[in-house]
Amino acid sequence: MINETGCKTIIVNGVEDHVHFFLGLKPTVSISELMKTVKTKSSKHINDNRFLLYRFEWQVGYGAFSYSHSQINDVYNYLANQEKHHHKESFKEEYLKFLEKFEVPYDERYFFEDLT
């Protein structure tokens, strides 16, 4: 089912310092607008329901990577096992690998801080 943002949610999972959203997108969906909506609505929901003792805010920025339809099962299984995976490798190590694998240029001066 595709929601009002033009997305089909496949899986959402993460650990204490990050979350993955695996989505099917219509080609007309702007990733930057989608992430703005996701961050705004989720932080409002978390704060309105007082799930945390402090005010929740997302860090600036996000990463978006695409995969082919034939990789859906592999990506789903990888995301479903985040807790187990991150016992072997930190989020920062994983993210740097993704940036290198997908040949995304970055400047370490603007890289996010460790959260845990």
- pLDDT tens-digit map of 59-108: 888 888 888 889 999 999 989 988 887 888 888 888 888 889 889 888 87
Q: 3-state class of 7 per DSSP?
A: strand
What residues contact residue 34 under an 8 Å CB cut-off, 6+ apart?
5, 6, 7, 23, 25
pTM here?
0.73
- For residue 72 the two structure tokens come to 């859906």
pLDDT above 90: percentage of residues in the chain = 32
Question: 78 and 85 in contact (C-beta within 8 Å)?
Answer: yes
DSSP 9-58: EEEEEEETTEEEEEEEE-TT--HHHHHHHHHHHHHHHHHHTT-SSS---P
What value does the mean pLDDT of the chain take?
85
- For residue 83 the two structure tokens come to 């807790």
Q: What mean pLDDT is predicted for residues 13-33? A: 87
Domain ranges of the chain: 7-110
Q: What mean pLDDT is predicted for residues 15-32? A: 87
Predicted pLDDT of residue 92: 82
Task: Render the burial of 59-71: b for 16+ CB within 10 Å, e for the rest.
Answer: eeeeeeeeeeeee
Predicted pLDDT of residue 43: 95
